[in-house]
Amino acid sequence: MAGTEPRAAKRRPVYLDLPRIRLPLPGIVSFLHRVSGALLFLFGIPLLLAGVGASLASPESYASLRDALAHPLAKLVLIGFVWAYVHHFCAGIRHLLLDLHIGVDLAPARRSTAVVAFLSVALTLIIGVRLW
């Protein structure tokens, strides 16, 4: 019978040690693009809409929101959202250029990844200094 023959065992990874896997910079930027998009969608948009609604409700609620956003912890959260927005924007432009087959080769793709990483941190620092 054909069904009684032992099958060849497939080689599958038993244990995947994720902290030891080193992603290249393009992989990290791509992962952060997804994380920043999820962060903006799940938390950024609802908080922005709640803030706009509270600021337009009355002069007292606007003053209350302004006082709440003056707290250092709130400023750190805002800087986090600024980074998420700037990084998602820059990485999105990079992905659009890659979709247009601009910078698809290995060297330009790595260069554009480094530019996105540098630009997102630099713009976040500039906006963060202005915000603080």
pLDDT in tens, 116-130: 999 999 999 999 999
Two tokens, residue 51: 């803030």
pLDDT category, 37, cuts 50, 70, 90? very high
The 10 Å Cβ neighbour count of residue 48 is: 12
The 10 Å Cβ neighbour count of residue 4 is: 5
CB neighbours of 69 closer than 8 A, spacing ≥ 6? 51, 75, 78
Q: Decide if 128 is inside a domain.
A: yes
Q: Decide if 102 is inside a domain.
A: yes
Q: Decide if 21 is inside a domain.
A: no
- pLDDT at residue 18 greater than cutoff 90: no
Two tokens, residue 28: 């990290």
Total domains present in the chain: 1
pLDDT category, 131, cuts 50, 70, 90? confident
Q: Decide if 67 is inside a domain.
A: no
Q: Write out the residue range of the structural domain in which residue 130 sits.
A: 32-40+72-132
CB neighbours of 124 closer than 8 A, spacing ≥ 6? 79, 82, 83, 86, 87
Q: Decide if 48 is inside a domain.
A: no
Averaged pLDDT of the chain = 91
Residues making up the chain, counted from first to last: 132
Q: How far apart are the first and last CA of the chain?
A: 77
